[in-house]
Amino acid sequence: MTKNKQNWEARYKTGDLPWDSGRHDCTLEELVVDKTVSACRALELGCGTGTNAIWLALQGFDVAASDISPMAISIAKDNAQQANVSVDFMVMNILQESLPAEKYDFVFDRGCFHSFDGKERDFFVKSINDCLTPTGIWFSLIGSADSPPREIGPPRLSAQDITSLVEPSFGIKMLKATHFDSDQPSPPPAWACLMQKR
């Protein structure tokens, strides 16, 4: 995991961030605009440069956000200051550090869940379940394996993989095919998965 942290830190130091468009995610915006998720205590995991966390704060959410990369969090803090919003940014390795129990109403991750393997994914699901209030919501954007093979891009899961990984801790309220909001000519396909704590 130390090597993984070093890899992420190197990406932010070199600016090799193909997933970072510099704007908030359109699928997250849809959830907020249509009131599927209203302003509440929210946590973003794998927040990167803070674009989505900052946007949520501008919509009235009380936001905390974490990333494994200190460089990413430093950039995110600068971005929040420029936007004149308050976000509680934290450098955190979610596989090694516990989140506060039953503290958040909404958890968002854009490509964080699919980055883990095997038991790490089980631990990630449990950590989110533990930090959510009893009726809490988790929204995850996940690389889709139900699309043609490709050589580069985010890790991929099938709809069946996702279902088996999150049950029985979460009930799936929505699982729809989409793509990662990106400046790339062919944005990577993704699943938008909205889940509620059981």
pLDDT of residue 101: 80
pLDDT per position as a tens digit, 127-174 = 999 999 999 999 999 989 876 666 665 578 999 999 999 998 999 999
User: pLDDT of the chain along its 198 residues, tens only?
Assistant: 444 777 767 777 777 676 677 789 999 999 999 999 999 999 999 999 999 999 999 999 999 999 999 999 999 999 999 999 999 999 999 988 988 888 999 999 998 998 888 899 999 999 999 999 999 999 999 989 876 666 665 578 999 999 999 998 999 999 999 988 876 677 788 999 999 999
Provide the β-strand partners of residue 193.
140, 175
Q: How far is CA 173 from the centre of its chain?
A: 17
23, two tokens? 């704007």
What is the Rg, in whole angstroms, of the alpha carbon atoms belonging to the chain? 16
Determine the angle formed by the axes of helices 2-14 and 70-83, rounding to 10 degrees.
50
pLDDT of residue 16: 67
Cα–Cα distance, 8 to 168 (Å, whole number): 31
> How many CB atoms within 10 Å of residue 86?
12
Give me the CATH topology for the region 40-197.
Rossmann fold (3.40.50)
Cα–Cα distance, 51 to 129 (Å, whole number): 24
